[in-house]
Amino acid sequence: MWIATSSAIVSYAHKTPFVLIRFGSNPNSLLDIQAETTPSATDEQLRVMYRSLLSKKLGFKFHYSTQDATVYAVTISKRGLKIKPHVPGVAPLLEDLHGPRSAQPSPVNVVIGGSASGLQILARDATISQICEALTEVVQTTVNDDTGLHSRYDINLRFRSPQQEVSTVDPDPSEFPTLSEALDDLGLTIKPEKGKVTLLVVDHIDKTPEIK
């Protein structure tokens, strides 16, 4: 069973970060999703199941829209990549995540946790594109993967929240580096650029409290 807001369920099912979803009604209404899954179900199989539930049980309708915006691009730094490909059996565990985690069903490759001062992205057997999807939530706009990498990695990324970066109170630099510094340690760079963002616009979703 998964109890989450309608925005969390739509975000997971349609693989779209919260910040790129537009609701006409209350996106924070709680839904109680009860569905049988097999332990071997993949992340994509779960997404397909939730898309079907949204459409058939909640009459979910939506469309996509694009607009000009400042986006970010992640590339390999000039010093080269410093992360190694995923090795089965030695990936970081969810127990390594500090603070509350984002609301998602299992299995997932990337989770976000932390607090207002320090954030953490924990990735297991994940692509750089999946990590960029998580970064989109953090920086509140699209983060594009321009690395050209297709391997899968294990990453434990801890960094100062964007709100703390603009705060007048100096954080302890030894505890939380900036996002740019944390990515640089992995051999990645992140830079802003002009681009377009694709929004998922919700046209209709029934206000049914439960799906059984």
For residue 60, give its domain range. Answer: 2-211
Number of domains in the chain: 1
Question: How confident is the prediction for the chain on average, in pLDDT?
Answer: 81
Over the stretch 136-156, which tens digit does the pLDDT of each residue have?
988 989 999 999 999 999 998
Amino acid at 207: K
Over the stretch 17-36, which tens digit does the pLDDT of each residue have?
888 999 876 666 666 666 67
* CB distance 112 to 130 below 8 Å: no
Whole-angstrom distance, CA of residue 4 vs CA of residue 29:
8
- Tell me which of 212 and 5 has the higher pLDDT: 5
What is the distance, to the nearest Å, from the Cα of residue 198 to the centroid of all Cα atoms in its chain? 15
Over the stretch 46-59, which tens digit does the pLDDT of each residue have?
889 889 988 988 88
Over the stretch 170-198, which tens digit does the pLDDT of each residue have?
555 457 899 999 999 999 999 999 999 99
* CB distance 125 to 86 below 8 Å: yes
Sheet holding 21-22, edge to edge: 21-22, 188-204, 61-76, 143-145
Determine phi and psi for 13, rounding to 5 degrees: -60, -40
